[in-house]
Amino acid sequence: MDIKRLDHFVITVQDIERSCRFYHQILGMQIITFDNGRKALRFADMKINLHQVEHEFEPKAAIATPGTADICFIVKTHISDVLTELRTKNIPIEQGPVPKNGALGPIESIYFRDPDKNLIELANYR
């Protein structure tokens, strides 16, 4: 087997519209609607499907709970500019910039949380 790339993943959220606003306004993701009203967030050539807690679509994770995701996005924008933008948008920074290790080597990361307390990491390769 030769896996090419990640296509999409799912996060379970308390409020789909709130999550759409956050990911669109803070991270610039495109909100898309598919399959009779389901919502997703598109970025680059991937997407995040959103499931409403207690109204998930089958099949689903065995324990579908808001706040259990820990996601790292590699950004084109320099991490210092990302930090400035997040502060301008009043996003509390949990950690960073700090050195970490990405899939391809050393990265510099900033951590914060989405409305459901999922941990979001934005990073640049160093």
Helix (H) / strand (E) containing 85: helix 79-88
Element (H, E) at 118: none
Q: What are phi and psi of 63, to 5 degrees?
A: -125, 90
Strands 8-13 and 30-34: unpaired
User: Which of 58, 94, 108, 121 is an active site residue?
Assistant: 121
Q: Of 49, 56, 55, 14, which is closest to residue 29 (Cα–Cα)?
A: 49
| Three-class SS state of 107 | strand
Q: Which amino acid, residue 118?
A: N
85 is catalytic: no
Catalytic center residues: 121
